[in-house]
Amino acid sequence: MPEGEKNELLQKIVDNNPSLVFNIVQQASSQPGGYHPAPNADVPKWCICTRCREMPTDPEKLCCERQPNMCISQLADFKVLVLNETVLALARAYRRDVLAVDDGDDINKSNRHASYRQFVLWQHGVLGAGNRRVIPSCCVWAIRDKYPDPFAQYTGFIPSRLS
């Protein structure tokens, strides 16, 4: 179905049943992964760098374990290699060309996922299929703050299926 027809159909549905939009938003905000503490939230006890925020699962409760002035999420290299939109656009273009993977329409989601991949490549190198690493909370939240989901719906860390 062409994009224009999809939009017209969606508009007719919303016109006939406006509460449907509220139901979708309410359902999306009540599902797991809708957790997004404010940047000024209390620092968790497990954090050393003072920039982490609480995470929904134990494996994700990981700090970079650096002193506050040396937190990975505050380094110039992090800001260029992981958060810079031009670098992410290049990384996404390379991924599209090599793997023929479509970015989708949500640019923030595409940039978040590219940022996570860039961080892992920068810190751990090429890992190979099924080899995954947890990204420190301070870095995850820096990425999510820069490229937020409008409904705070984040997938979070998914362990390897090969383990």
> Cα(125)–Cα(80) distance, rounded to whole angstroms?
17
Give yes or no for a contact between 117 and 111, defined as CB atoms under 8 angstroms apart.
no
pLDDT one-digit tens code per residue, 96-142: 888 777 777 789 999 999 999 999 999 998 888 778 899 999 999 99
Amino acid code (one letter) for 155: T
Rounded to the nearest integer, the mean pLDDT of the chain is 84
Domain spans of the chain, in order of start:
1-30, 37-146
